[in-house]
């Protein structure tokens, strides 16, 4: 163990939804954005507004970096607006406290709550839009899958596809599921009740690609990045 480090600095610990309080100590947000490709981000609207949604934004560090990245990628006059949502009220409070840019907003929202459609459509209406230009789902699919099962994962992807033109997903590989489960058991908490019922196991990227690219959803995959330094790829899809 590294000397001089507190326990919470070393291990993310057990979590049921991935709402780690010190997440960005382990996964610095600026490094993550560097993995994103150039040239995918296009302004498709004539009003120069570009809207993004970051699902499972945790304390907002990555959301803020994504906003900066998009603003740099798009023509300088573009008004980039991003909304970060997360089910954890403490993390959302932190995110709000750390950011005073009016183009970056945070809402405490469980993606599966009844409120979701209203919150997202109200936000889009304020931007005079009906869908997002891009939705980011970084390191959230495993938590959705563990808590809502195979059906929940499919529903999540299906619902996301309905509200965006471009979809960016960084799935957790299967070994992370085992680690999350082990950490729960080690900390004396109940394991994820659905983990042994999941049929979508193994190559998670392949499952996600297949679900998103099902013909009826009208999405195609445009990019898969190399593994980053913690073994995750980023998958990028766009509506046909």
Catalog residues that contact ligand SAM under the rule CB under 6 A.
Answer: 17-19, 23, 27, 56-58, 62, 85-88, 91, 110-112, 138-140, 143-144
Minimum CB distance to ligand SAM smaller for 41 or for 143 = 143
Minimum CB distance to ligand SAM smaller for 58 or for 78 = 58
Q: Are 1 and 10 in contact (CB under 8 A)?
A: yes
Minimum CB distance to ligand SAM smaller for 85 or for 99 = 85
* Contact residues for 66 (Cβ-Cβ < 8 A; gap 6+): 33, 52, 54, 82, 136
Minimum CB distance to ligand SAM smaller for 31 or for 47 = 31
Nearest distance in Å: CB 14, ligand SAM? 13
Nearest distance in Å: CB 149, ligand SAM? 13
Nearest distance in Å: CB 146, ligand SAM? 9
HSE-CB of 26 using CA atoms within 13 angstroms: 14
Q: Are 60 and 101 in contact (CB under 8 A)?
A: no
* Contact residues for 206 (Cβ-Cβ < 8 A; gap 6+): none
* Contact residues for 32 (Cβ-Cβ < 8 A; gap 6+): 62, 65, 138, 228
Nearest distance in Å: CB 91, ligand SAM? 6
């Amino acid at each position: 163990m590294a000397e001089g480090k507190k326990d919470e600095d070393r291990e993310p610990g057990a979590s049921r939804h991935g709402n780690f309080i010190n997440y960005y100590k382990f996964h610095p947000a600026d490094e993550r954005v560097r993995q994103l490709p150039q040239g995918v981000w296009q302004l498709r609207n004539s009003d120069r507004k570009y809207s993004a949604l970051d699902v499972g934004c945790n304390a907002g560090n990555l959301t803020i970096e994504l906003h900066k990245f998009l603003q740099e990628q798009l023509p300088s006059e573009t008004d980039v607006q991003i909304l970060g949502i997360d089910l954890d009220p403490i993390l959302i409070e932190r995110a709000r406290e750390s950011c005073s840019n009016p183009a970056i907003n945070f809402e405490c929202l469980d993606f599966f709550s009844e409120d979701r459609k209203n919150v997202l459509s109200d936000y889009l209406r304020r931007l005079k839009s009906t869908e997002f230009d891009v939705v980011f789902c970084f390191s959230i699919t495993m938590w959705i899958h563990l808590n809502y099962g195979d059906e929940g994962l499919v529903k999540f992807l299906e619902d996301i596809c309905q509200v965006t033109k471009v979809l960016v997903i960084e799935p957790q590989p299967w070994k992370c599921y085992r680690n999350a489960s082990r950490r729960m058991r080690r900390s004396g908490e109940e394991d994820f009740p659905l983990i042994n019922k999941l049929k979508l196991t193994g190559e998670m990227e392949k499952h996600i690609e297949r679900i998103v690219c099902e013909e009826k959803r009208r999405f195609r995959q445009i990019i898969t990045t190399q593994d980053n330094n913690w073994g995750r790829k980023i998958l990028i899809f766009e509506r046909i």
